[in-house]
Amino acid sequence: MQLIKLQRDNMTSQKEPQEGHSTSTKVTGPSSWSKVSCPCCTSTQIEPLVLIQLAESVQPITKQWIMSVIAAPVKAGGAQLLVHPGEDMKGDMIVVAAPRCTLHRVTEELGLCKTYQDGDMKAFSFEDRDNFCNIDDTQQFLTLAERQFIVKHEMDLMKALEDQRIPGIPAPAGKLKARESILQKLEKAGLIRSITPLHDQERLADLGKQWYSQKSLWGQPLDYIHNYFGGTIAYYFSFLDFYTLSLFPPAILGIFITFFLPSANFSTAIETDSNASSKISDDDHLSVSSYMVQAVFSMLWSTIFMELWKRRSASLSYHWGTFNLAEQFQEPRPGFHGEIGTNPVTGRLEPLFPDWKRKMRMGLVSVPVVGFFLGLVILGMAGFYICERLVSSWHKESGSYFTAPLLYLPSIAHIVYTNVLGNVYRNVALKLTEAENHREESSFDYHHTTKVLVFTFFNNFAVLFHIAFFKEDMPLLRKRLSSLLIVTQVVGQFTEVVVPFLVDRFLTSANRNLKEDDPEVDHLQAQGSLPAFPGLFAEYIELLVQFGYLSLFSCVYPLTAPLLLLNNLTEIRTDAYKLCKLFNKPFSAPVANLGVWQLAFEVLSFISVISNCWLLLLSPRVKEWTQEAGLSSSQVIVIAVIVEHVLLIVKMILAFIIPDEPDWLQVKREQIEYNSMQALKKQRIKSTRVDGKLQKAKMGE
Amino acid sequence: MQLIKLQRDNMTSQKEPQEGHSTSTKVTGPSSWSKVSCPCCTSTQIEPLVLIQLAESVQPITKQWIMSVIAAPVKAGGAQLLVHPGEDMKGDMIVVAAPRCTLHRVTEELGLCKTYQDGDMKAFSFEDRDNFCNIDDTQQFLTLAERQFIVKHEMDLMKALEDQRIPGIPAPAGKLKARESILQKLEKAGLIRSITPLHDQERLADLGKQWYSQKSLWGQPLDYIHNYFGGTIAYYFSFLDFYTLSLFPPAILGIFITFFLPSANFSTAIETDSNASSKISDDDHLSVSSYMVQAVFSMLWSTIFMELWKRRSASLSYHWGTFNLAEQFQEPRPGFHGEIGTNPVTGRLEPLFPDWKRKMRMGLVSVPVVGFFLGLVILGMAGFYICERLVSSWHKESGSYFTAPLLYLPSIAHIVYTNVLGNVYRNVALKLTEAENHREESSFDYHHTTKVLVFTFFNNFAVLFHIAFFKEDMPLLRKRLSSLLIVTQVVGQFTEVVVPFLVDRFLTSANRNLKEDDPEVDHLQAQGSLPAFPGLFAEYIELLVQFGYLSLFSCVYPLTAPLLLLNNLTEIRTDAYKLCKLFNKPFSAPVANLGVWQLAFEVLSFISVISNCWLLLLSPRVKEWTQEAGLSSSQVIVIAVIVEHVLLIVKMILAFIIPDEPDWLQVKREQIEYNSMQALKKQRIKSTRVDGKLQKAKMGE
């Protein structure tokens, strides 16, 4: 295997000021890395960051071409990274590292903030890099996750500058159009099996010890997680942490109501038979008010929880240097297409796509299609009920021993239907979001997740709402919900953890015997062999369902909160173990908040207020109580409407009153705003003075 | 009368670069102006901008002192303006003008945007002033209203630098503490009767011709209004304009339903007696659906109207150069007090007041007090109903001819009570808002207006809601509302226009005969003699009530919209006439939107959706229709709840979908954001390089 020869013709045309550092690179592996393409990097050691696994069919010439593109400078459409051919027997690996100046340049492009010499977090600026702390120690300056994300980000942006062919691939698949994303093309053509950030085994062991092996029940090393796994994952665990902590007040209230409030203690009512009727009515009255207390409490709790989380989230984003991310000023995401033009804001040449067109597509295509699928869900549910009724009546009338299994047919058909529909929908949602052609990655994720989320929620909750509001069958609702809660949690944790653990232990050990000669290469290969991390969608959905259950139904089951608290304390550990041990390390972008999940939790807490009021109304105890109080049903409904509106208004006022950012962060933000306003004015003067001088000089000529 | 001698000791310490223009000032009046305090102004003519009328008791020494303060430089606590002693016989006038450099400096402080050489609107920068268009012609560069507002703004900021006494005023009233606002003190001590911006009679006549004397029904010279009267007033008229234009669609729908839809045409039902019962039920059915159409239409209309107005408002603020106002970076408003400290954002020394203290005061004092007053309103209403019932039953039982007038007693008592309460509340609201100690003028206005608005609304609408939802007496509601609409409009326009017009014509003509020798001075005095402009509160309230009436009840009266359209077309003219002729010219701050009124209209349009649904439910036709359809009352309420929630959700989605700014403005805003981000980074490099050089220089020493 030979060293890839890079075309270094464009090297000298680089933008970065070349301060003439010496280029002394020490190679980690026994093999040769591609040379650093800029002369300004002084790093004494190359750190392998990302592993690309090629398909086994890839020919050496194609691999060579891919490596040359990754190592090529950005101006030539490359990623300006360092590549290493991997040196395994199959020859299907490429190891990628990053030179320091690429890391710094992209840090500025992403808008990451780093500690300035005066101790504040400031947007990193390449030209001003010497004033940032730890600038000389890249491993201190950027977190491992950031370095790996930067590598992925740069590879995503690799573009063909003109129509060309990928060597070694026949024409239709190997043809690259101008401005086409190279990595997307390679993935579509099936040339790349996986792209994985590499683990640092030593630090991983250390992190694991602090995270899930520790004896104490509380606390996660959030900064360490952010450092090692990156933004989105750190945000998930921070939220899980905060949420679990927030469960204490409702848990305490729930335990208090269940065990210490006499009215809810049914045993006393049963024990004292004398004067039973008045006692029971008294009890009912009290427990109705305890329902009310719980309902109002959970409404207030969910609102305050979300508002405090926003504050926490804002200060996390400051500490992690992501409060200034400006994705709209970055290059568009790889899948983005449009007519080439000048971006009116940044002045860069890039594809442009008018916003109104995107909105048209969303309004006229995406929304109707999603609506159509939601309709199919309802149709399926209706069909299920009708079939069930038909089958059971037919079985009663003319059934025999052999027709009994037919009773299960509608359920089976419905489950199959729901699953097929779900799978089809997932593909459709992806295609729809791609067609919407979002410019930013975060906006793409936002719209994609929203689509899937709406469907998932509808799919899960339509049946529950049907039971609650049409059948008005509260016992069935409780049964369904508790099974949803318990079964989903238990099955979820089992399938998510135990199965992969067993697979990891017994199945992959077979693979491990196929050792290479070189333990280093073997180690790399082991990392590639784990399954890909399935993403945080399922985790968030689980939390969302929990949260919904808690804010919707804790007034019916006061012990929900303590149970959830226990569940989450284990959930943190299992999620952590899973992430560290059972899957490939995922890429994780620097983010400033939960993104669409923030919205989802807020919408749910709104819905929960409305739903709470109406469910309370339907609960048999409240019905009895209102009948005793001599209220007509329409009066009761009117009261419920008033209560609902008042609660919603209180909720909105609370959300309005609690500021979304801590005061100190607001001051920082205003400082930045003020300073950049001043800087803009000053810059204008200077630039016009320079213009003036140039003009004078020209006139002098 | 002698020229005021100014201390010009601090003159040379001015910040502005002194480019050494010649100071040739031509005085307009026959008397002498104070001299321009900076040598950079080249204006050949002094334009009198503001008239201060002192109390008649003010001694010449006090007047001299006031003039010296106004002319003193900002560093000495003055306003750095030009003063003229007025030269009337009474000696109670001061005329104020502004030198060019003060105007420019304050323009930058306010954050006003002006046309840059490249045609864009950019935040004005004093240092960069030569690159702005029309910089040499102050009357072109700044509008008349802006110049006058700047004069007022600077006089508001005049501060005593140390404890001192106002000459000619005895100790308690004449004692000034350090950092106390001088103008506020003078006004409190009763030394200043009024401060009025001066009219430009020629332009006023021209504006009047274009505005209210023109023959065409449509169009207002909005830019001219903004130029002459300033931001808040121009925004009011722009909103009135936009609102009136927006009335066309509902007006057309209303006319169509009334005259062209057979179902609403009652005469046909009366004409055809045969088969009457089925016909009427058919009619009812149709008119119920036309109710529905109107209700849904008015909901959609009010939402789209508000959203489109936001867009219009945003582009107006761009054109008028106010989209970049940053009040939080300016000096605090004069009434603001707190411990002196360094503002963490701007680095200036000024009073600081923690936000949490303000919030505590708002939450623990303002909110309960306002609630208490709202309680008093309800108490008054309840008392009125009880008394009325008592009196009428007593009159029926044992009444005679003489007890009949007693029947009016409760009404009279209620009216007196309401009025007294309203007056007391207005003072309380002002005091409360002052105690909240807001830093920015706009924030003060916001909270003050909100308080008054809530009370006014409650006072006006509590009775209506009582009639609608407790008495369920729809005919009475309609009667009350139509009287509210018609009587308020007619009486309002009469008292607002006709009375001042008559007073102006007949009463003030007596004053006019007291002429001075000098026609110029006489002219100035005539301007001071008009009543003060009462502000836009009453005007906005009128629009708000209209808007509420329209969005609440147009489904009951389809002709509301056409009537309002007619009313508003005259309203524009009468308001314009009033402003131009019948009152003193008001000061008007540059603003970027309607402020609190925007919120009020949005809240009202939310309430109207809710109220609409429930009023529809109570309307007798809908009741009949539901009875015929065989729906139980609780079913009907449930349907209403569902409809209400769906409408609210549609409303929220609509508000979310329609962007608050036009696309081009968003691009401009992003450009500014991007450029200032870049500028901040660049500036940092330069400043640290300079620091580095200084350090090197020091180390070299």
Please give the C-alpha separations between residue B289 and each of A606, B610, B659, in angstroms, as whole numbers. Answer: 31, 18, 32
Task: Tell me what pLDDT residue B508 has.
Answer: 55
Return the higher-pLDDT residue of B36 and A330. Answer: A330
pLDDT in tens, A423-475: 899 899 999 999 998 888 888 888 998 998 888 888 777 777 777 777 777 67
Q: B34: which DSSP letter?
A: P
Q: What is the largest CA-CA distance in chain A?
A: 114
pLDDT in tens, B64-80: 888 888 888 888 888 88
Task: Tell me what pLDDT residue A236 has.
Answer: 92
Task: Tell me what pLDDT residue B266 has.
Answer: 42
- A42 interfacial to chain B (CB closer than 8 Å): no
Inform me whether the pLDDT recorded for B391 exceeds 80: yes
| Mean pLDDT score, A571-599 | 85
- B28 interfacial to chain A (CB closer than 8 Å): no
Smallest CA–CA distance from A345 into chain B, residue: B671
Round to whole Å and give the CA distance between A325 and A691.
32
Task: Tell me what pLDDT residue B308 has.
Answer: 92
Chain B residues with CB-CB distance to A329 below 8 A: 670, 674, 677
Task: Tell me what pLDDT residue B120 has.
Answer: 82
- Smallest Cβ distance to B667: which of A345, A645, A670? A345
> In Å, how far is B688's CA from the nearest CA of chain A?
8
Selection from B38-52, B347-361, B523-537 with the highest mean pLDDT? B347-361
Chain B residues with CB-CB distance to A663 below 8 A: 355-356
Chain A residues with CB-CB distance to B677 below 8 A: 123, 326, 329, 676
pLDDT in tens, B401-456: 777 777 777 778 887 888 888 889 989 999 999 989 888 888 888 899 899 888 88
- A462 interfacial to chain B (CB closer than 8 Å): no
Q: Give chain B's mean pLDDT.
A: 77
Return the residue matching tokens 């390449």: A126
- B674 interfacial to chain A (CB closer than 8 Å): yes
The encoded tokens of residue A572 equal 């943190």
| Mean pLDDT score, B621-649 | 80
pLDDT in tens, B569-612: 878 888 888 888 778 888 888 888 888 899 889 888 888 888 77
- Residues paired with residue B95 on neighbouring β-strands, in sequence order: B51, B84
Task: Enter the ipTM.
Answer: 0.76
Q: At what angle do helices B596-618 and B537-553 cross, to 10 degrees?
A: 30
Chain B residues with CB-CB distance to A637 below 8 A: 634, 637-638, 641
pLDDT in tens, B320-367: 988 888 777 778 888 788 888 888 888 888 888 888 888 888 888 999
> In Å, how far is A343's CA from the nearest CA of chain B?
10
Inform me whether the pLDDT recorded for A671 exceeds 80: yes
Task: Tell me what pLDDT residue A173 has.
Answer: 73
Return the higher-pLDDT residue of A264 and B308. Answer: B308
Q: Which amino acid makes up residue B493? A: Q
> In Å, how far is A304's CA from the nearest CA of chain B?
17
Return the higher-pLDDT residue of B29 and B360. Answer: B360
Cβ-based burial of A4 (10 A; exposed 0-12, middle 13-18, buried ≥19): buried
pTM score of the predicted model: 0.81
Q: Which amino acid makes up residue B36? A: V
Round to whole Å and give the CA distance between B398 and B335.
60
Asked if A641 lies within 8 A of B641 by C-beta distance, the reply is: yes
Task: Tell me what pLDDT residue B13 has.
Answer: 34
Confidence tier at B507 by pLDDT (50, 70, 90): low
Round to whole Å and give the CA distance between B418 and B576.
31
- A679 interfacial to chain B (CB closer than 8 Å): yes
Asked if B681 lies within 8 A of A641 by C-beta distance, the reply is: no
Round to whole Å and give the CA distance between B507 and B251.
41
- A610 interfacial to chain B (CB closer than 8 Å): yes
C-beta separation of B674 from A345 below 8 A: yes
Task: Tell me what pLDDT residue B603 has.
Answer: 87
Smallest CA–CA distance from B359 into chain A, residue: A657
Best A447, A641, A643, A657 residue to mutate vs chain B (most B CBs within 10 Å): A641
Question: Which of B411-443 are b and which e, b meaning 16 or more Cβ less than 10 Å from the residue's Cβ?
Answer: eeebeebbeebeeebeebbeebbeebbbbebbb
Task: Tell me what pLDDT residue A280 has.
Answer: 41
Return the higher-pLDDT residue of A387 and A87. Answer: A387
User: In which element (H, E) is residue B50 found?
Assistant: strand B50-54
Return the higher-pLDDT residue of A572 and A26. Answer: A572
Residues, chain A: 701
Best B641, B642, B646, B669 residue to mutate vs chain A (most A CBs within 10 Å): B641
Chain B residues with CB-CB distance to A682 below 8 A: 127, 679, 683
- Comparing A298-302, B495-499, B521-525, the range with the smallest average pLDDT is B521-525
Chain A residues with CB-CB distance to B311 below 8 A: none
pLDDT in tens, A62-110: 888 888 888 888 888 888 888 877 766 667 788 888 888 888 888 888 8
The encoded tokens of residue A25 equal 């690179």
Task: Tell me what pLDDT residue A282 has.
Answer: 42
Task: Tell me what pLDDT residue B31 has.
Answer: 53
Task: Tell me what pLDDT residue A439 has.
Answer: 87
Q: At what angle do helices A231-246 and A560-577 cross, to 10 degrees?
A: 150
Question: Which of A595-632 are b and which e, b meaning 16 or more Cβ less than 10 Å from the residue's Cβ?
Answer: bbbbebbbebbbebbbbbbbbbbebebbeebbeeeeee
- A328 interfacial to chain B (CB closer than 8 Å): yes
- A133 interfacial to chain B (CB closer than 8 Å): no
Please give the C-alpha separations between residue B491 and each of B485, B486, B530, B542, in angstroms, as whole numbers. Answer: 10, 8, 22, 12
- Comparing A127-141, A313-327, A495-509, the range with the smallest average pLDDT is A495-509
pLDDT in tens, B667-692: 888 888 888 888 887 777 777 666 66
Cβ-based burial of B696 (10 A; exposed 0-12, middle 13-18, buried ≥19): exposed
pLDDT in tens, B644-671: 888 888 888 888 888 888 888 888 888 8
Inform me whether the pLDDT recorded for B518 exceeds 60: no
Inform me whether the pLDDT recorded for B372 exceeds 90: yes
Q: Which amino acid makes up residue B524? A: L
C-beta separation of A604 from A548 below 8 A: yes
The encoded tokens of residue B147 equal 């110049």
Window 614-643 of B, Cβ < 8 Å to A:
633-634, 637-638, 641
> In Å, how far is A684's CA from the nearest CA of chain B?
7
Task: Tell me what pLDDT residue A629 has.
Answer: 78
Task: Tell me what pLDDT residue B530 has.
Answer: 74
Q: Which amino acid makes up residue A141? A: F
What Rg, from alpha-carbon coordinates, does chain A have?
30
Which positions ≥6 away from B411 have C-beta within 8 Å?
B384, B388
Smallest CA–CA distance from A610 into chain B, residue: B645
Q: Give chain A's mean pLDDT.
A: 77
C-beta separation of B28 from B45 below 8 A: yes
Round to whole Å and give the CA distance between A29 and A82.
13
- A677 interfacial to chain B (CB closer than 8 Å): yes
Chain B residues with CB-CB distance to A680 below 8 A: 123, 672, 675-676, 679-680
* Short-list B348, B311, B308, B309, CA closest to B332: B348
In the three-class reduction of DSSP (H, G, I as helix; E, B as strand; rest coil), residue B341 is classed as strand
- A675 interfacial to chain B (CB closer than 8 Å): yes
The encoded tokens of residue A436 equal 């919407």
- Residues paired with residue A115 on neighbouring β-strands, in sequence order: A121
> In Å, how far is B503's CA from the nearest CA of chain A?
47
- B289 interfacial to chain A (CB closer than 8 Å): no
Give the DSSP letter string of A482-522.
Answer: HHHHHHHHHHHHIIIIIHHHHIIIIIHHHHHTS--S-HHHH
- A682 interfacial to chain B (CB closer than 8 Å): yes
The encoded tokens of residue B278 equal 């089925």
Q: At what angle do helices B231-246 and B222-229 cross, to 10 degrees?
A: 150
Chain B residues with CB-CB distance to A125 below 8 A: 681, 684-685
Round to whole Å and give the CA distance between A452 and A457.
8
Chain A residues with CB-CB distance to B688 below 8 A: 117, 128, 131
Asked if B672 lies within 8 A of A682 by C-beta distance, the reply is: no
> In Å, how far is A51's CA from the nearest CA of chain B?
35
- Smallest Cβ distance to B680: which of A117, A637, A676? A676
In the three-class reduction of DSSP (H, G, I as helix; E, B as strand; rest coil), residue A53 is classed as strand
Inform me whether the pLDDT recorded for A610 exceeds 60: yes
The three-state (H, E, C) secondary structure of B159-185, written as one string: ECCCCEECCCCCHHHHEECCCCEHHHH
Chain B residues with CB-CB distance to A454 below 8 A: none
- A194 interfacial to chain B (CB closer than 8 Å): no
Task: Tell me what pLDDT residue A60 has.
Answer: 81
Chain B residues with CB-CB distance to A667 below 8 A: 344-345
Task: Tell me what pLDDT residue B38 has.
Answer: 62
Asked if B683 lies within 8 A of A683 by C-beta distance, the reply is: yes
Task: Tell me what pLDDT residue A692 has.
Answer: 61
Confidence tier at A205 by pLDDT (50, 70, 90): confident
Round to whole Å and give the CA distance between A48 and A199.
10
Inform me whether the pLDDT recorded for B30 exceeds 50: no
Residue pairs between chains A and B whose CB atoms are closer than 8 Å: 108
Round to whole Å and give the CA distance between B406 and B2.
67
pLDDT in tens, A278-293: 444 444 444 666 777 7
